[in-house]
Amino acid sequence: MQIPTVARKAPAPAKPNGDLLSLPTLGRERLLQLLASARSLKRDLSPYRHSLAGKTVILLFEQPSLRTRLTFEIGVQRLGGIAVYVDHSSSRIGQRESVYDMGKNLERMVDCVVARVFHHNTLEELAAATRVPVINGLSDRFHPCQALADALTILEQSGVAPENGHTGQKVAYVGDGNNVAHSLMHAAAMIGFDLTVITPEAFRPAADVVADAQRLAAGTGATIALSNDPAGVAGHHFVYTDVWVSMAQQEQLERRRKRFSAYQVNPGLMAKAAPNARFLHCLPAHRGLEVTDDVIDSAASVVYDQAENRMHVQNALLLHLLANQHPG
């Protein structure tokens, strides 16, 4: 008996607006469009409250979260969709079954995957396997949703318009050259902020990310500079820091605490920046380590604006990727 050959199904149609694993794939025009949409949604979301009706977004998280989880869960609901949170912290994605099989299952059930992973290549595999958009909710390499919120906050605080290239704003990132720093470098280069990344020598951002950011910066006239001197914050309008020990590095706390002590953002360091410089932090903060209470609780601190802005930029992103809608 001859076994009939089964015709292979035609490949799934490509996702029209792609994934968001890191900012450069968006391109400058779409990045600015997303920020404009986020501003519009922040003013009034009501015209879009049914835009995601019938759509389901899964949040698949290998690491804990407050802001990313809640802003996506609440944002999806405000846009009329359904969000389902899956705590994947007890095992790595790809351990029980392949990442590919997980992606092939998920695309039959949901319209979008937001994943928080230890290894960025898990996201790349997942995105390659599914015909639904995959959004990076933080990986070891990048945190693009955070950088979108950071950019919106910097634009709000400075009042500059990014359309014409270089904005004249100078941002100093002080601390660990990590996932948050990497995505901030992309955002600064693409939008047109000068960024100085100030880290201990051994904790510089990854060389390939620096090279990418410097290439992107050529298009906007932005400067992406590296330094190991905390006094390099001089003249900067924004001072940004993140934890010295990321979630995936908890065992390095003692070693890192000593290496980073000169990089604490305290009133002395803020005084070296431009007059009226603002303080930024993606949160969660380790108060007393990378930042002191008297800075994070000061009038210069805009950290809770950043947290709120996560919701607005992600709503714009969801409308773009899932409904091809562009408010504003």
Task: List active site positions.
Answer: 116, 143, 146, 242, 282, 310
User: Mapping DSSP to helix (H, G, I), strand (E, B) and coil, where does residue 16 land?
Assistant: coil
* In the complex, minimum distance from the CB of residue 247 to ligand CP, in angstroms, rounded to a whole number: 7
What's the CA dihedral at 279, 281, 285, 290 to 10 degrees? -60
Residue 178 interacting with ligand NVA (CB under 6 A): yes
Residue 309 interacting with ligand NVA (CB under 6 A): no
In DSSP terms, 174 is beta-bridged to 198, 241
Residue 253 interacting with ligand CP (CB under 6 A): no
| For ligand CP, the closer CB: 40 or 183 | 183
Residue 285 interacting with ligand CP (CB under 6 A): no
Strand order through the sheet with 134-136: 82-87, 56-61, 112-116, 134-136
Residue 65 interacting with ligand CP (CB under 6 A): yes
What's the CA dihedral at 173, 289, 207, 29 to 10 degrees? -40
Contact with ligand CP (CB under 6 A) among 138, 172, 181, 216: 138
Distances (CA, A) of 262 to 200, 290, 299: 9, 9, 23
Residue 66 interacting with ligand CP (CB under 6 A): yes
According to DSSP, residue 260 is labeled H
Residue 183 interacting with ligand CP (CB under 6 A): no
Contact with ligand NVA (CB under 6 A) among 22, 167, 220, 246: 246
Q: What residues contact residue 74 under an 8 Å CB cut-off, 6+ apart? A: 311
Sign of CA dihedral 256, 258, 259, 260: positive
Residue 89 interacting with ligand CP (CB under 6 A): no
- Angle made by CA atoms 54, 55, 61, in degrees to the nearest 5: 145
Residue 322 interacting with ligand CP (CB under 6 A): no
Residue 243 interacting with ligand NVA (CB under 6 A): yes
Segment 143-172, which members bind ligand CP (CB under 6 A)? 146
Contact 236, 158 (CB under 8 A): no
Contact 131, 197 (CB under 8 A): no
Segment 269-298, which members bind ligand NVA (CB under 6 A)? 282
Residue 242 interacting with ligand NVA (CB under 6 A): yes
* In the complex, minimum distance from the CB of residue 8 to ligand CP, in angstroms, rounded to a whole number: 40
CB neighbourhood size of 266 (10 A): 14
Residue nearest ligand NVA, CB atom distance: 246
The C-alpha atoms of residue 79 and residue 71 are separated, in whole angstroms, by 12
* In the complex, minimum distance from the CB of residue 183 to ligand CP, in angstroms, rounded to a whole number: 11
Segment 134-163, which members bind ligand NVA (CB under 6 A)? 138
| For ligand NVA, the closer CB: 247 or 300 | 247
* In the complex, minimum distance from the CB of residue 286 to ligand NVA, in angstroms, rounded to a whole number: 10
Contact 116, 60 (CB under 8 A): yes
What is the contact surface with ligand CP in residues (CB under 6 A)?
65-68, 138, 146, 282-284
For ligand NVA, the binding residues (CB under 6 A) are 138, 178-180, 242-243, 246-247, 282
